[in-house]
Amino acid sequence: MRFAAIVVAAGSGSRAGGDKQWRTLGGRPVVRWSVEALLDAGADEVVVVVAADALPRADAALSGLSGWRAVAGGRERSDSVLAGLKALTGEPSRPVLVHDAARPFVSADMVERLLAALDGADGAIAALPLTDTVKRKGADGIEATVDRTGLWRAQTPQAFRADRLHAAYAAWPGGQAPTDDAAVVEQDGGLVRLVEGDPRLMKLTYPEDFAMAETLIARQSRVGQGFDAHRWGPGDTVWLCGVPIAHDRSLIGHSDADAGLHALTDAILGAMGDGDIGDHFPPTDPQWKGAASDLFLIAAIERLTARGGRLVNVDVTLICERPKVKPHRQAMRERLAQILSLPLDAVSVKATTMEGMGFTGREEGLAASAVAMIELPLAG
């Protein structure tokens, strides 16, 4: 099912020490966790609502991702949700998930179950039943023990039809601002279903919550290395790291012979222990004849993502006498960052010569080496 998402990230986060949505968790800004997860789950549009003066911070935190845009929010959470709703494009009746950036661990399964529960209802929310004994504090000690029967604690995401949620907000009587969107739809007479939530959808509220969240994402770091070489042949263009460069010769290969992308693909596959480029894209297969090598790199990233992993950074070294790489190096970095959905500062491209030695020094061919660091979930 096609859906949109609103990620609310306009709060001050004062109880967590301030700016919690921009703090780093597992090497990534908190807000990026939710945006990446919702895009990976199939959102065709993600609106990130931030404070008006934080729009540049959103650009930096979400660099390399596509399918999102940031808008300025308001003083109250409800103001920010309305700003997100107004910024949505597409069919007014399509589902929209409203999610707090302070809950970074949303899963594709959670999204799927919420969308399914929305069928025949006005809303669906993730929630967990209360399991602890609940006490009401008085002026001097416990005032009462509260019956927890039937009590659930709401989480996000919360799912609605966009136009239904917008109409419910328009009918909100004013006064005290709602603390979640389900309350707005309930007040308007809507049916909101409870979907079993996820304990990992914890809300980062206090500084100690970040330490707990870091333990939830315990991962192993791995490094992979790749190497590739191609002979020079007739032609007028060479592809290196996804960028075409005018030259008096071309590299010979079954695909487009982009040695940089081939080496990088092998580095990522090697870090996963998942064979090499020849295993997945054999040169004996005619479908890869003349293929653009970014297809191989994208496929390696998809295999990494399917295992719950992520790419941390890459470093490519091109070994040749000619063409000169430096004039094209920035374009190569930008192209790799785009393909890999990485920040630019996580992508390095370098070049060196062999000072006339060996096959690259004699200009018989060009070589490339690459290193990639990945993170994978710990087994078990």
Would you say 299 and 280 are in contact if contact means Cβ atoms under 8 Å apart?
yes
**What pLDDT sits at residue 259?**
97
For 183-213, how does the pLDDT look when each residue is reduced to its tens digit (9 = 90+)?
Answer: 999 999 999 999 999 998 999 988 899 888 8
Average pLDDT over residues 237-248: 96
**What pLDDT sits at residue 13?**
53
If we measure between CA atoms, which residue out of 127, 105, 308, 111 comes closest to residue 202?
105
For residue 135, list its beta bridge partners.
145
**What pLDDT sits at residue 16?**
46
Look at residue 297 and tell me whether its pLDDT is greater than 90: yes
Give the confidence band of 349 by pLDDT, cuts at 50, 70, 90: very high
Give the confidence band of 12 by pLDDT, cuts at 50, 70, 90: low
CB atoms within 10 A of CB 351: 19
Average pLDDT over residues 75-92: 93
Give the confidence band of 360 by pLDDT, cuts at 50, 70, 90: very high
* Tokens standing for residue 106: 């949303």
Average pLDDT over residues 299-318: 91
* Tokens standing for residue 133: 């004994």
**What pLDDT sits at residue 214?**
82
CB atoms within 10 A of CB 87: 17
If we measure between CA atoms, which residue out of 289, 234, 228 comes closest to residue 256?
289
307 phi and psi angles, rounded to 5 deg: -95, 10
Look at residue 234 and tell me whether its pLDDT is greater than 80: yes
Secondary structure (H, E, C), 125-178: EEEEECCCCEEEEECCEEEEEECCCCCEEEEEEEEEEHHHHHHHHHCCCCCCCC
11, 14, 20, 23: CA torsion to nearest 10? 130
Determine which helix (DSSP H) or strand (DSSP E) holds 372, and give its type and residue range. strand 365-377
Q: How many CA atoms lie within 13 A of 65 on its CB side?
A: 28
Least confident of 12-21, 61-70, 221-230: 12-21
Over pLDDT 90: what percentage of the chain?
Answer: 81
Residue that is written with structure tokens 């939710």 in the block: 34
Give the confidence band of 246 by pLDDT, cuts at 50, 70, 90: very high
> Rounded CA gap, 152 and 297, in Å?
45
Non-local (6+) Cβ contacts of 205 within 8 A are 15, 16, 102
If we measure between CA atoms, which residue out of 220, 214, 201, 215 comes closest to residue 26?
214
For 97-144, how does the pLDDT look when each residue is reduced to its tens digit (9 = 90+)?
Answer: 999 999 999 999 999 999 999 999 999 999 999 999 999 999 989 999
Checking DSSP bridges between strand 3-9 and strand 68-72, what pairing results, if any?
A: unpaired
- Distance, first Cα to last Cα, the chain: 31
> Rounded CA gap, 97 and 115, in Å?
9
> Rounded CA gap, 206 and 199, in Å?
17
If we measure between CA atoms, which residue out of 329, 231, 311 comes closest to residue 265?
311
Please tell me the total number of residues recorded for the chain in this structure: 380
* Tokens standing for residue 135: 């006490």
**What pLDDT sits at residue 378?**
67
Average pLDDT over residues 36-58: 95
Rounded to two decimals, the pTM is 0.61
**What pLDDT sits at residue 380?**
39
Average pLDDT over residues 341-358: 95
DSSP string, 333-373: HHHHHHHHT--GGGEEEEEE--TT-HHHHTTSEEEEEEEEE
DSSP string, 26-81: TTEEHHHHHHHHHHHTTEEEEEEEE-GGGHHHHHHHTTT--SEEEEE--SSHHHHH
Look at residue 15 and tell me whether its pLDDT is greater than 80: no
Look at residue 58 and tell me whether its pLDDT is greater than 80: yes
For residue 128, list its beta bridge partners.
153
